Structure 1
Amino acid sequence: MDRQTQFRNHLAEGQVFKKDYIVLGTGILDGEPVSNAQIKIPLKTLNRHGLIAGATGTGKTKTLQVIAEQLSLKGIPSVLMDLKGDLSGLAQAGSVSDFILKRSETIGVSYDPQGLPVELMSISNEKGVRLKATVSEFGPVLISQILELNDTQRGVVALVFRYCDLNHLPLLDLKDFKRVLQFVVNEGKSDIEKEFGQVSAASVNTIMRKVIELEQQGADRFFGELSFDVQDFVRTKEGKGVVSIIRLTDIQSKPKVFSTFMLSLLSEIYETFPEQGDSDQPKLCLFIDEAHLVFSSASKDLLEKIEAIIKLIRSKGVGVYFCTQTPTDVPDNVLGQLGLKVQHALRAFTAKDRKAITKTAENYPDSPFYDTAEVLTSMGIGEALVTALNEKGIPTPLARTLVRAPITRMDILSSTEIDQLVASSDLVRKYNHDLDRDSAFEILERKMNQVESVQQKEIPKEVTRKSSSRTPKDESLLKELSKNTMVRQLGRTLFRELARGILGSFSGKRR
């Protein structure tokens, strides 16, 4: 039995599937593609999450594109976090070339270029469906984790949410949240202390600064209404799963906003989707490009929250796939949950790089056909080491793989094409309008204005009452004093300061 036949048999033993699957590519042995050695991934285990890793320029994004395409053709919707802006081409058909046709023939698949149903989305200024969520939907625990607060500060945030619930003050955006924080230590201080005890102004000021920091990264555009319904991610069109591309090119330098959005999305999906059990295919797959941004800026509490959701969300029929440069970008607790691993080439330019390659090789099953560490540095563009879980949850044999070509455009859409896609979207018409209903900010502002109005009416009454109580002797003394310039100036100063103290007790603090 020759070596290629042994290789085919080795792959076939681990890739016997009773249910449906997608074909990612074909196996490579001794540097040459092997016919009839397709690398298959069962749909049944795609909710076990995955990793697509490799150095810059090795084909990670195109592999992500291929998997999203094949899922769509199987009627499975997906959500793609596009931080580089190079995934919009999924909406248009790819180009046919001799190279692509020969590659497809080698892999044993037909090449049928076509565009897929795509929905462009954004949490910032990019064109597309605007995704939003309210502060109330996040809740005190998640808000505290995002702001990286200590226990005392978390207690203040919990108090704010409780006070707003009891007094029917909707917390919709960061403007509402900041206004209630000001109210707690200023105008409403006495009421708060009666019901909840004393609140530290220093803690409130710290929370306020952290909220402002979040605002400066653009989070104020994300918090508000109309809240996005995650059920709108789970759509099909003409039998194909809709690919929702969240365009994030303008927030690469704002990792806190990215991790905030990512955590809120995972939390909402986990809390909203029903338990699916052990089904034949996933309900939804999420692909997070440049995944290191999620983890590098996240606090310990935030990481624990993400890890917990990743472990539990698969029971909802949801698979999460991280696309990054090295597996070490993903925490070990998350890495251990991943079923599919697609590893593109790594580059060994330094001693540190060589150590990273050795460590990466240890994350993959041993193979009688490869020295994994050696293969990691010798693969070309569009090649990857692949291992998945079979239908019994057992890792499939590690295979160096020639990845199939995308059937959609391998370039981005033009501005005109993006405009046309956005203009035809039903979700854009549903979500892309400003909604600023009465919430905590407006309610508290009206309340304070009413108090000021009452105070201003009381001041003339008080002055009249005091004036009427003067005796003739008092009047004579006042007339004498009024002739003195110094006394007149002192009187005006005292009155001005007194008026400022009374009238500014609310308005000054509001500023």
Structure 2
Amino acid sequence: MSKKEVFSAHINQGYSSKGESIILGGAILDGEALADSYVKIPLKTLNRHGLIAGATGTGKTKTIQVLSEQLSSFGIPVLMMDIKGDFSGIAKPGEELPFITERHAKIGLPYSSSGFPVELMTLSAQNGVRLRATVTEFGPVLFSRILNLNDTQAGVVAVIFKYCDDNKMPLIDLKDIKKVINYITEEGKAEIEEHYGKISTSTTGTILRKIIELEQQGGDLFFGEMSFDINDLMRIDENGKGYINIIRLTDIQDKPKLFSTFMLSLLAEIYQQMPEQGDSGQPELVIFIDEAHLIFNEASKALLEQIESIVKLIRSKGIGIYFVTQNPMDVPSGVLAQLGLKIQHALRAFTANDRKAIKMTAENYPLSDYYKTDETLTNLGIGEALVTALNEKGIPTPLVATMMRAPMSRMDVLSENEIAAINNKSKLVKKYSEIIDRESAYEMLNKKIQTIESEAKEIETKKQEEKRQRKTASEPMSQTTKGVIKVLTSATFIRGVFGVLTKLFKK
């Protein structure tokens, strides 16, 4: 057998699958794609998470598009973070251009075009399905970790949540928790100290400043009602295709705290609400986190530990998470160790540091008799990648350079009119467009403060009235006393005069 035949048999055996699988593309050896040597990923392993990495312009976006399309075709919903605004075209069928025909001929895979059911979502004021959550839903631990509070400050946040819970005060948005902080350091200070202990004003001041920082990054838009129901991510259309939920994040690239806040809260809520799935044939939901370094670069140690913990546990709920970034080193080693599928597009070596990074990246992949991994990484073309995954038994598959198939949908963005048309048809846009501002801690404490001030005013008025009455009551006595003194004085004077006169007459 020739080298190509041995290699082809090696790949077909390593990527064979008894159950349903998605096809990423065809294997490459010595720069040539081998027809009918497909790189296939079993559906049942797609909840084992993954990494899609590579330099700018090497094809990461199209790889996400290909994966999302095929997942949707199998009835698996997708959630993707669209930082750069590249994915909306997935709603419309693609066009078979000559380079696509040529690529698929090399792979030995027929090309077909198709659009997919899409929901456009937003964390900000952009048009789309508004995503919100309440402060109460976060809970004191997660809220403290997002704010990067120390143990003392986190303890105070726990007291705030307990106080609000004890007094049936919902914490809906950031103005609620800010109002509580102001209350417990001013009007309600004595009440808090009596029932929960003394709280330092310097501690509450620090917490307040960090909440304001989050607020300035758009947290005031995210925290509120109505809260997003994660079951709305799990929808299937009338044709049996899973919805591709695209969160448009083009306007929050400079607000990493809001992005990481949302991602962590979403993952935590999915983990809490989804039932244990066990060993099923396919995932319930697959999440693609583009520009993943925005989460990890701004995350505190506590936040990183929380993310790592959720990544470890959430796969048992049938949820697959795929981190997309330029360099695998952007992902913490604890998270990287949990990723079963790795799709590595080309890296570019412009500096000595780049070459070191490439060597380190190469060490994250299985050894291969067919590739020098570090050299291959710099020689991959656009739309080509090194791939290793897990087979149905959970064993890593052989490392293989892959010519990725082309997306079936459009490879550009939708126009504003096309986006508006999708939003106008969306049931979820209508469902979440209303902003609910029900009575919560802010309004309840304002009423309480007004009551306190009113009672204090009544007490002061009563004191003033009692003082006036005492003064009024004392005035007649004063006049009488003065009269008596006056009379006594006159009598004394008269007696004195008469006494003098008497002495004179005696003489």
TM bracket, shorter-chain basis: over 0.9
Write the mapping of 1:31-180 to structure 2, written as runs, cut at 5 A: 31-180=31-180
User: Contact 1:122–1:131 at 8 Å: present in 2 too?
Assistant: yes
User: Contact 1:83–1:252 at 8 Å: present in 2 too?
Assistant: yes
- Find out whether 1:218 has 2:218 as its counterpart: yes
User: Contact 1:126–1:248 at 8 Å: present in 2 too?
Assistant: no
Aligned length: 476
Write the mapping of 1:80-479 to structure 2, written as runs, cut at 5 A: 80-237=80-237, 238-470=239-471, 471-472=474-475
Which amino acid in the other structure matches residue 71 of structure 1? Answer: L
User: Contact 2:78–2:245 at 8 Å: present in 1 too?
Assistant: yes
Which amino acid in the other structure matches residue 268 of structure 1? Answer: E
CA-to-aligned-CA distance 1:393-450 (integer Å, 9 cap, x gap): 1111111111000011100000000001011000111111110000000001011112
Gaps of 5+ in 1: 477-511
Report the alpha carbon displacement of residue 475 of structure 1 after superposing the two structures with TM. Answer: 8.9
User: Contact 1:181–1:204 at 8 Å: present in 2 too?
Assistant: yes
Which amino acid in the other structure matches residue 187 of structure 1? Answer: E
Counterpart CA distance in 1 for 2:281 and 2:204 is: 50
Report the alpha carbon displacement of residue 473 of structure 1 after superposing the two structures with TM. Answer: 9.4
Which amino acid in the other structure matches residue 356 of structure 1? Answer: A
Counterpart CA distance in 2 for 1:281 and 1:338 is: 17
Which amino acid in the other structure matches residue 36 of structure 2? Answer: N
Counterpart CA distance in 2 for 1:286 and 1:262 is: 10
CA-to-aligned-CA distance 1:364-394 (integer Å, 9 cap, x gap): 1111111111010011100000111000111
Report the alpha carbon displacement of residue 469 of structure 1 after superposing the two structures with TM. Answer: 2.1
Report the alpha carbon displacement of residue 69 of structure 1 after superposing the two structures with TM. Answer: 0.5
Alignment CA distance shift 1:19-1:187 (3 Å): same
Which amino acid in the other structure matches residue 106 of structure 1? Answer: K
Counterpart CA distance in 1 for 2:447 and 2:247 is: 38
User: Contact 2:36–2:109 at 8 Å: present in 1 too?
Assistant: no
Alignment CA distance shift 1:230-1:475 (3 Å): farther
Which secondary structure does the structure 2 equivalent of 1:323 belong to?
strand
User: Contact 1:85–1:249 at 8 Å: present in 2 too?
Assistant: yes
Counterpart CA distance in 2 for 1:168 and 1:160 is: 12
CA-to-aligned-CA distance 1:264-310 (integer Å, 9 cap, x gap): 01000000000000111111100000000110000000000000000
Counterpart CA distance in 1 for 2:196 and 2:349 is: 59
Which secondary structure does the structure 2 equivalent of 1:342 belong to?
strand
Which secondary structure does the structure 1 equivalent of 2:68 belong to?
helix
User: What do you get for the CA RMSD once the two structures are aligned?
Assistant: 1.3
Q: Which residue of structure 1 lines up, in the alignment, with residue 28 of structure 2? A: 28
Which secondary structure does the structure 2 equivalent of 1:236 belong to?
coil
Alignment CA distance shift 1:466-1:338 (3 Å): same
Q: TM-score, normalising length from structure 1?
A: 0.91
Which secondary structure does the structure 1 equivalent of 2:47 belong to?
helix
Q: Which residue of structure 2 lines up, in the alignment, with residue 507 of structure 1? A: none
Q: TM-score, normalising length from structure 2?
A: 0.92
Counterpart CA distance in 2 for 1:392 and 1:460 is: 81
Which amino acid in the other structure matches residue 344 of structure 1? Answer: H
Which secondary structure does the structure 2 equivalent of 1:304 belong to?
helix
Which secondary structure does the structure 1 equivalent of 2:310 belong to?
helix
CA-to-aligned-CA distance 1:186-210 (integer Å, 9 cap, x gap): 1111111111111111100000000
Counterpart CA distance in 2 for 1:466 and 1:196 is: 37
Q: Which residue of structure 2 lines up, in the alignment, with residue 504 of structure 1? A: none
User: Contact 2:90–2:409 at 8 Å: present in 1 too?
Assistant: yes
Give the stretch that moved more between structures: 232-241 or 458-467. Answer: 458-467
Report the alpha carbon displacement of residue 32 of structure 1 after superposing the two structures with TM. Answer: 1.1
Which amino acid in the other structure matches residue 189 of structure 1? Answer: K
Which amino acid in the other structure matches residue 158 of structure 2? Answer: A
Which amino acid in the other structure matches residue 105 of structure 1? Answer: A
Alignment CA distance shift 1:475-1:110 (3 Å): farther
